[in-house]
């Protein structure tokens, strides 16, 4: 049972959550035995690491650089592949007793469909598939799936056909228009959009006179990107009927509340967990406090209230 009251219960894009706070993909161990004491309190659902059909070692060289109030990362989707996930990691993750959202990345549509087939064979419940469209599309010379409408449409359509469960699309903030791409995802059958992912940036090692990262560019996250993500959530929520899940830079309980007031039905927290494993719990307390203060009974009543 959640230590938090029923006022935080919500249904987001077909997934029932005890709280609207989701652990974002790629930040937390796939084995709950490694989670710090108390860090599961307030967590409504957990996203898996970005999974691919085959195992990947990820990127060589430097993978993380701290920036002003943020972090650049270039992990390169290191993961053990979907087969290993279904056999080993999903059983461990399920032990947490929270809905599991599986984040899936792919270089080709064939890979995507094949990976989905493996996930469909899982005996353990996968509450939703979160389509990661920030990975490169090999057929388009490595351009990110999520920054071209045709490319995004082909990916969401393929995932929709292959997966009969709940489908969320985690949009790329590099997309030219978050609202249009959210609408496109909705049109292709997504039950929710996650807005968004890391923002491309880079850092130069002045001593070596070289970029820190082998791939030059890396994904920026952390408090630095919060205002950008909040704007993107606002745009997306104004463009679609399906729920928007806010993700990007949430670092304090108040940030999560702002995201919800801007139109997010739930939030994902990521980088902030590097420094505050109790953020889900403190966020839930803040949401409950705000509901009481405003005389409201359910977190659903807060969604989009800043847009009135």
Question: What does the DSSP 8-state code read for residue 51?
Answer: B
- Assess whether 188 carries a catalytic annotation: no
The pair of structure tokens assigned to 85 is 């996930």
Where would I find the H helices in the chain? 81-84, 90-94, 109-120, 149-162, 178-187, 226-239, 253-262, 279-294
Q: In angstroms, rounded to a whole number, what is the distance separating the alpha carbons of residues 42 and 12?
A: 16
**Stretch near another protein under the rule CB under 8 A, chosen from 5-13, 60-68, 145-153, 261-269:** 60-68
The strand pair at 64-67 and 70-73 is best described as antiparallel
Rounded (5°) CA angle 14-20-26: 90
- Please state the closest distance from residue 227 (CB atom) to another protein, in A: 13
Do residues 202 and 213 make contact, with C-beta atoms less than 8 angstroms apart?
yes
As measured in angstroms, the least distance from the Cβ of 33 to another protein is 6
Judged by CB under 8 A, the residue of 26, 99, 246, 253 near another protein is 26
Pair 38, 275: CB distance under 8 Å = no
Q: Would you count residue 92 as binding another protein (CB under 8 A)?
A: no
Which residues from 214-253 bind another protein, rule CB under 8 A? Answer: 222-223, 251
Nearer to another protein, 228 or 296 (CB): 228
Nearest CB to another protein, comparing residues 217 and 274: 274
Q: Report, in Å, the least distance between residue 66 CB and another protein.
A: 5
Please state the φ and ψ torsions of residue 231, each to the nearest 5 degrees: -60, -45
List binders of another protein among 151-210 (CB under 8 A).
Answer: none
Of 9-17, 61-69, 162-170, 179-187: span binding another protein (CB under 8 A): 61-69
The residues that touch another protein, with contacts defined as CB under 8 A, are 1-3, 26-41, 49, 57-58, 60, 62-66, 68-71, 73, 75, 78, 95-97, 222-223, 251, 271, 273-278
The catalytic site residues sit at 135
């Amino acid at each position: 049972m959640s230590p938090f009251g029923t006022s935080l219960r919500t249904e987001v894009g077909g997934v029932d959550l005890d709280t609207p706070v989701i652990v974002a993909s790629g930040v937390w161990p796939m084995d709950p035995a490694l989670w710090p004491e108390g860090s599961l309190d307030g967590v409504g659902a957990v996203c898996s690491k970005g999974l691919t059909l085959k195992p990947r070692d990820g990127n060589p060289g430097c993978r993380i650089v701290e920036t002003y109030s943020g972090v650049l990362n270039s992990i390169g989707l290191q993961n053990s592949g979907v087969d290993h996930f279904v056999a080993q990691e999903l059983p461990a993750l399920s032990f947490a007793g929270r809905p599991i959202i599986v984040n899936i990345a792919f270089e080709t549509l064939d890979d995507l469909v094949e990976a989905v087939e493996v996930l469909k064979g899982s005996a353990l419940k996968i509450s939703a598939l979160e389509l990661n469209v920030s990975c490169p599309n090999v057929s388009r010379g490595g351009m990110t799936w999520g920054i071209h409408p045709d490319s995004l449409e082909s990916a969401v359509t393929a995932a929709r056909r292959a997966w009969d469960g709940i489908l969320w699309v985690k949009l790329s903030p590099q997309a030219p228009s978050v609202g249009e791409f959210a609408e496109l995802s909705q049109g292709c059958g997504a039950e929710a959009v996650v807005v968004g992912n890391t923002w491309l940036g880079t850092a130069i090692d002045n001593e070596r006179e070289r970029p820190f990262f082998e791939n030059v560019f890396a994904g920026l996250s952390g408090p630095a990107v919060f205002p950008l993500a909040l704007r993107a959530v606002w745009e997306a929520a104004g463009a679609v009927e399906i729920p928007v899940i806010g993700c990007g830079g949430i670092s304090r309980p108040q940030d999560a509340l702002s995201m919800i007031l801007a139109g997010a039905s739930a939030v994902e927290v990521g980088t902030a967990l590097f420094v505050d494993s109790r953020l889900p719990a403190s966020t839930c307390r803040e949401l409950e406090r705000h509901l009481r203060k405003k005389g409201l009974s359910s977190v659903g009543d807060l969604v989009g209230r800043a847009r009135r």
